[in-house]
Amino acid sequence: MQPSEFQRLLQTNVTSIVRITSQFVNHFETTQKEGGLMVVSSMAALFPVPYQAIYSGTKAFIMNFFNALSFELKNTKFSLTVYAPGGIATEMTQGEKFNDLKDWLMPVEQAAKEGIYALTTRKYNYIPGFINRVGSKLMKFLPKKFIVGQMAKTYRKSLKQSGH
């Protein structure tokens, strides 16, 4: 990854999240109004993705930042929600690079509906999709090194197919 790409990812997934969240939290703590804020993390925050290490790290930061900050809130009418989807079928996941992952990609419409549900029901951490939720529970029983190794194999194969 080029230094400029690394900086862009940090700016998007860390710096901007902290700045914007701080403004929202300050507003709701000061006014004591009802509301909620949801941030999009990823299942990559729970199970690191080889070949996307920086992305996984920033998503883990987002989850940990929101989870910790939610306990610092004094306004009980304001909530923070972490939305942690797996892969979503978008223009970014089209093409042969993602062929081995296509069966795991969630349709955009479902991801959007579940995101709205998570925010309106004030979920703490929310993983959309039944398969993703069950998978995340089952993966807790397997050694993380094994899971990350399996993900590495899948991503390595995808990278080879795309010529990287």
Q: For residue 39, which phi and psi values (nearest 5 degrees)?
A: -120, 145
pTM: 0.83
For the chain, list residues with pLDDT below 70. 89-103, 158-164
Are 51 and 98 in contact by the 8 Å Cβ rule? The answer is no
State the pLDDT at residue 155: 73
CA 142, 63, 110, 120: dihedral to nearest 10 degrees? 130
The residue type at 116: I
State the pLDDT at residue 98: 56
State the pLDDT at residue 130: 87
The CATH number given to whatever domain includes residue 152 is 3.40.50.720
Give the structural domain span for 47: 3-161
How far is the C-alpha of 77 from the C-alpha of 63, rounded, in Å? 21
Q: Token pair 């529970």 is at which residue?
A: 137
SS3 37: strand
128 to each of 7, 19, 62, 83, 144, how far by Cα in Å? 29, 26, 17, 8, 21
The residue type at 6: F
Number of domains in the chain: 1
How far is the C-alpha of 20 from the C-alpha of 150, rounded, in Å? 35
Cβ neighbors of 58 (< 8 A, separation 6 or more) are 9, 10, 12, 13, 14
Q: Give the residue numbers marked as catalytic.
A: 55
